[in-house]
Amino acid sequence: MAGTEAVLWFAFRADRLLVYPEENPIGVPRADSLEDLGLKVLFRREIGTLDGRRCLAAELAPDAEPPEGMVFRDLRGLWAGVDEEFFAMAGRAKQIVEWHRTHRYCGRCGAETVSGADELAKECPRCGMFFYPRLSPAVIVLVRRGDNILLARSPGFPPGMYSVLAGFVEPGESIEETIEREICEEVGVEVKNLRYFGSQPWPFPNSLMIGFTADYAGRELRVEPSEIEDAGWYSTDDLPTLPPKVSIARAMIDSFVARHA
**Residue 86 and residue 35 in one domain:** yes
Residue 181 clears pLDDT 90, i.e. is over it: yes
Give the chain's domain count.
2
**Does residue 144 fall inside a structural domain?**
yes
Residue 5 has what pLDDT? 65
Worst-scoring range by mean pLDDT, 20-24, 139-143, 247-251? 20-24
Phi, psi (degrees; rounded to nearest 5) at 249: -55, -45
**Does residue 130 fall inside a structural domain?**
no
**Residue 90 and residue 145 in one domain:** no
Q: Would you give the DSSP letter of residue 66?
A: P
Worst-scoring range by mean pLDDT, 83-87, 116-120, 255-259? 116-120
Q: Which residues contact 223 (CB under 8 A, 6 or more apart)?
A: 152, 186, 187, 188, 229, 230, 231
Residue 151 clears pLDDT 50, i.e. is over it: yes
pLDDT band at 70 (very low <50, low <70, confident <90, very high): very high
The model carries a pTM of 0.88
**Residue 254 and residue 141 in one domain:** yes
Residue 67 clears pLDDT 60, i.e. is over it: yes
Residue 89 has what pLDDT? 96
- Write out the residue range of the structural domain in which residue 47 sits: 7-102
Average pLDDT over residues 40-52: 94
**Higher pLDDT among residues 142 and 79, named by residue:** 142
Q: Using only the alpha carbons of the chain, give its radius of gyration.
A: 21
**Does residue 109 fall inside a structural domain?**
no
Residue 152 has what pLDDT? 98
**Residue 236 and residue 140 in one domain:** yes
**Residue 170 and residue 254 in one domain:** yes
**Does residue 33 fall inside a structural domain?**
yes
Pairing, β 53-60 against β 7-13? parallel
**Does residue 118 fall inside a structural domain?**
no
**Does residue 141 fall inside a structural domain?**
yes
- For a pLDDT cut of 90, what percent of the chain falls above it? 86
